[in-house]
Structure formats: C-alpha cells, structure tokens
Amino acid sequence: MKRILVILTGGTITMVRNAQSGALHPADVDTFKAFVPELFAGNMEVEMLPFSPLIDSSDISPTNWVKMAKAVAENYNRYDGFVILHGTDTMSYSASALSFMLENVGKPIVFTGSQLPVGVLRSDAKENLLSAIEIAAETGADGKPMVPEVTIYFEGSLFRANRTTKKNAEHFEAFDSYNYPSLAKVGVHIQYRPNFILYPEANMPLFTHLHTCTDVAILKLFPGINETVVRAVLSAPGLRGVVLETYGSGNAPSARWLYEALKQAVDKGVIIVNKTQCSTGTVDMGQYDVARNLLKAGVISGYDITTEALLTKMMTLFGEFPNEPDKVRHLLSIPICGEMTTTSNNL
C-alpha cells in the first residue's frame, strides 16, 4: 500500500466559511478531513501533517520554506510521495524554493491548492487534492516514482514547480509554465509525459540546503525609470543579487548612467541576472545594441527562467555559499534542476 504525506501549510484550500460571520478561516485537520472522506477509504495510506498556524500564503517567508523542506526530509524514507497544500498567491515561489533546497529528489513532491475554499460546494479543492495524491503515488512500469520532481498540480495540469507562475486570480486554471511543457495532463486518464520529466541518474540520498539569504532585489525597468531609483536599489546595504527585469529579449535603455550604475554594482560584487519581462521566450543579450551595455557591465543571462525561480535560486545559493561568489555566479548561469533552458528551444 502506498503511503502519502499531505503537509498542510494553509491557503484557500484549507479554509471553510464560518456559518455565522460568513468569513473564511483555516479549518482544523478533522474538519478538513471530513470534506474528503474518500482519501481515507481508498487503497492508499494518507496521513496529514498540519503546520501551526495555517497561514495565507501572502505571509510565507523563507522560514516557512525551511519548515516545508525539513518536513519532507525528515519523513522522506517513510512515505512514497508528498503533497503540500499551499495558498496559490505565492505557491510558485515556495515550490521553486523547495526545488533548489532539496537536491537529488527521487520521490514526487506535489504542491497544490485551490481557488475556492474546500468548504464551498463548487470548490476546485477536492479535484486538485485527489489528483495530486494520485500523482504522488504513481509509479512507472519499473516500479519507480513516475514524477520524482517538485511539481505543482492545478486544474488538469502538472508542471515542474520552478517553471511556474500564477497567472490568474479568477479562473480555476491559476498557473502556467510558459517556457516548459506540462509533465502530465489530467482528464479521464492521467497522461504522463516522461520525455519532459527529470529522472535522477543514480540512487543518490536526498540532500537539503536549508540556508537562505534575503539580500536580493527585483529591479523592473520601465520607460522613464530614473537614476535615483536605480541607484537606490543597487546601493541597498548588504545587497548580493538582483533580478533585473528587462524588455523583450533582454534589452534595456542605453543611457550611460544606467550602464555605470550597473557596472559599479557588479564591480562591488553584486550579481545581476537579466530576466525578460516577457512570459515566453528567452534573454539573448547578443541580439540588439541596447543589450550589449548590460553584457559589458557584467550582467549575466537568466535565459528563460521565471522571476520566482531566479529569485529563490539566488536566495538559496547566497544562503548556502555565502563566501563563494564565483560559485554562485557560475550556478546562476547554468540550470541546476531544470529551471531554465540555455540552448535554443522550440517547445
């Protein structure tokens, strides 16, 4: 019998409506279980690990990521797969963070949540939860886990976690993976796409990276952005890494002051990574003159990475290797767990 651990962190999926006030609040585990009795009557052993308190994902911080990573690591040998219930607002950040914090993942770790609370009749909670559990328990013909990755399952699609972005606050289809195909499609049957799934090369033990660093920033360019604002961000005390959100294929204004501000920050040791503001496509700093300044200033390419993945990758790497900037710079320029494609792809 397969054993699945469901870790509850909070979010809409864990909420029920108070009959008197009508307000939403997190359910206790027994109330939550009562909404999904099928979970405990099937051919799987499902156990629940609720965090205390359950929180809205707007309140998630790296401390919570560490708690989630530890919960998986400490229970890793006792379960076949893990489902993490999480609010949708910051799910892509948490799930991306876990993909970097957990090295050599060989079992499914599936994040899911819902747009409507579990206690609402039309809720998407049940389907998301039941499918996530089935995916977490699935094995291939060789008896090994079908999707041994950190993923997000939502409304019919299974995505690699560090490729996702929350795209919709209204529709049930809340997530997308713009630059990488889904790993499975869920309809009447679950259709897995093994060609796109990362399988571990050898049976390596799980390794955790539990240190994070928050000395990072996102600097989004816009027409008219001024020098004072850019310099204020780049001179933040202790700053180590910047996600520079640029135009199109990685372009930026050609203003001399911008080049100088970026170059001075890089020379001071700040690592700046170029991430396009476009959802789809990749950074290519060789394409236009207006990107060459960035190259000259020492900005490195983030290729087709998401902001969520780039930011959490930086936070994990700076946390794990605080005194090895060259190593961090190198690891930021290559994919370490499927989070970006550095060669041209026509997916």
Q: Which residues make up the interface to ligand ASP (CB under 6 A)?
A: 11-12, 56-58, 87-89, 113, 115
Question: Which CB atom, from 4 or from 15, has the smaller least distance to ligand ASP?
Answer: 15
Residue 84 makes CB contacts below 8 A (sequence gap 6+) with: 6, 7, 9, 68, 72, 94, 95, 98, 109, 110, 111, 112
DSSP track, 111-146 = EE--SS-TTSTT-SHHHHHHHHHHHHH-B-TTSSBS
Shortest separation between residue 235's beta carbon and ligand ASP, angstroms: 33
Q: How far is the CB of 189 from ligand ASP (least distance, A)?
A: 27
Cβ proximity to ligand ASP: between 110 and 219 the closer is 110
Q: 314 burial class (0-12, 13-18, 19+ CB within 10 angstroms)?
A: buried
Whether 79 and 45 have beta carbons less than 8 Å apart is answered as: no
Name residue, tokens 């027994």.
30
The residue whose Cβ lies closest to ligand ASP is 87
C-beta of 12 vs 249, nearer to ligand ASP? 12
Cα–Cα distance, 312 to 62 (Å, whole number): 9
Backbone φ, ψ for residue 102 (5° rounding) = -110, 110
Nearer to ligand ASP, 9 or 293 (CB): 9
Q: Collapsing DSSP states into helix, strand and coil, what is residue 11?
A: coil
Nearer to ligand ASP, 15 or 265 (CB): 15
**Is 12 tagged catalytic?**
yes
C-beta closer to ligand ASP: residue 90 or 251: 90
Measured from the CB of residue 88, what is the shortest distance to ligand ASP in angstroms? 3
346 class by beta-carbon count within 10 Å (0-12 exposed, 13-18 middle, 19+ buried):
exposed
Least distance (Å) between residue 11 CB and ligand ASP: 3
Q: Least CB distance from residue 12 to ligand ASP, whole Å?
A: 3
Smallest distance from the beta carbon of 6 to ligand ASP, in angstroms? 16
Residue from 12, 151, 164, 212 carrying the catalytic annotation:
12
- Just list the catalytic residues: 12
